[in-house]
Amino acid sequence: NAGVTQTPKFQVLKTGQSMTLQCAQDMNHNSMYWYRQDPGMGLRLIYYSASEGTTDKGEVPNGYNVSRLNKREFSLRLESAAPSQTSVYFCASSERNRPQVLHFGNGTRLTVT
Amino acid sequence: AQRVTQPEKLLSVFKGAPVELKCNYSYSGSPELFWYVQYSRQRLQLLLRHISRESIKGFTADLNKGETSFHLKKPFAQEEDSAMYYCALSPSGGYQKVTFGIGTKLQVIP
């Protein structure tokens, strides 16, 4: 069991470029999440998917889009990257019976110049 | 709206000293509280949740509804406790989003 796997681990983008962060979980969890982690601001929820086929905005969705491709995969897309999106991005998942217990990936460190 | 406040960004203690990481919350309903921990070069993981009333790695946390607090305590700090600690809140029952505090970095000095 790999748990939650995120790719890539590191990425540098120029302002205006686009990219997709990939996340996959092998625990058969129903819910998946994208958080960003910034110094002094903790973890903030970008988007989440309560179940396959549904997605909802979190606290800071602007500038991002998501796709719940299937039960295993939940991707985060930056259409036109901005320096304010420089952050560490974490994907997480949770099971139906314990939705508040989050299982995290290792994170993607993104720098936008 | 739900909010979690961790007043200390950094807490430094000597090995063997007691540790208390503070967490206060605001939520009008009945919350579930959690502590997550991130050790160096490891992924963020659940440390404990208040409904379990358990001690994990010597850490305990009691939910005080009167003071709206959920402080994390350990009587004797160990070097391996050095990590980033996040307090988190979720409304109880069913599917609900988890809100995190800004985190407290615990540094245990040998």
Those residues whose C-beta lies under 8 Å from the C-beta of residue A109, and which sit 6 or more positions away, are A9, A10, A11, A88
- Residues of chain B positioned with their CB less than 8 A from the CB of A48: 97
pLDDT tens figures, A50-98: 889 899 999 999 999 999 989 999 999 999 999 999 999 999 999 877 7
pLDDT tens figures, B8-40: 999 999 999 999 999 999 988 888 899 999 999
Those residues whose C-beta lies under 8 Å from the C-beta of residue A39, and which sit 6 or more positions away, are none
Residue A84 C-alpha, separation from nearest chain B C-alpha, in angstroms:
18
Q: Helix or strand or coil: residue A84?
A: helix
Supply the mean pLDDT for chain A: 93
> Which of these, A28, A80, A26, A36, lies nearest to A52 by C-alpha position?
A28
**Using CA atoms, how far apart are residues B63 and A13, in angstroms rounded to an integer?**
43
Which of A40, A42, A103 faces B100 most closely, judged by CB atoms? A42
> Which of these, A21, A47, A51, A16, lies nearest to A34 by C-alpha position?
A47
- Residues of chain B positioned with their CB less than 8 A from the CB of A43: 44, 86, 100, 103
Q: Please, are residues A86 and A14 in contact by the beta-carbon 8 Å criterion?
A: no
Name the closest residue on chain B to residue A31, using Cα atoms: B95
